[in-house]
């Protein structure tokens, strides 16, 4: 079992890497940034509650809440309120959609190894381009 500090750091690492700010000035159609951000929050929270033990989740409750729904509410409030890309960058809807799909496809081993043996999906790093 991971330590409470370890799980909290892992959770924060996944959230900060996967939920970048992105603008709704879209290039290429697809869902808007706020919608995709909320989908990504849902995918990540679902993985947390599928992959981590109750003790691990309790240790990271400040970040992941006390239930999957609470996790989504917290992440949406923290990460999806301001979805603006940095100046000079444009939101890439297809990358956002691919980022969500990548997180949905992660195994529990990949979630547990995030930042160590699992890298942030490339699509997540190119949402604002």
Give CA–CA dist 12/5, Å, rounded.
Answer: 11
> In b/e form, how buried is each residue of 13-24, taking b as 16+ CB within 10 angstroms?
ebbeebbbbbbe
Give CA–CA dist 127/114, Å, rounded.
Answer: 19
**How many domains is the chain partitioned into structurally?**
1
pLDDT of residue 9: 65
pLDDT tens-digit series, residues 5-63? 565 666 666 666 665 544 444 444 457 888 888 998 899 899 999 999 999 899 888 88
Give CA–CA dist 44/103, Å, rounded.
Answer: 7
Q: Write down the pTM of the prediction.
A: 0.80
Tokens describing residue 101: 């799909």
* Domain enclosing residue 82, as ranges: 4-125
């Amino acid at each position: 079992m991971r330590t409470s500090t370890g799980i909290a750091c892992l959770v924060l690492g996944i959230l900060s890497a996967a939920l970048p700010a992105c603008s709704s000035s879209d290039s290429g159609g697809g869902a808007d940034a706020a919608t995709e951000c909320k989908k990504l929050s849902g995918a990540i929270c679902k993985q947390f509650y599928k992959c981590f033990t109750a003790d691990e989740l309790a240790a990271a409750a400040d970040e992941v809440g006390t239930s999957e729904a609470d996790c989504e509410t917290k992440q949406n409030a923290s990460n999806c309120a301001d979805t603006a890309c940095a100046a000079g960058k444009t939101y890439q809807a297809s990358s956002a959609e691919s980022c969500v799909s990548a997180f949905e496809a992660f195994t529990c081993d990949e979630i547990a190894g995030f930042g160590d043996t699992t890298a942030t999906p490339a699509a997540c790093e190119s949402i604002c381009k």
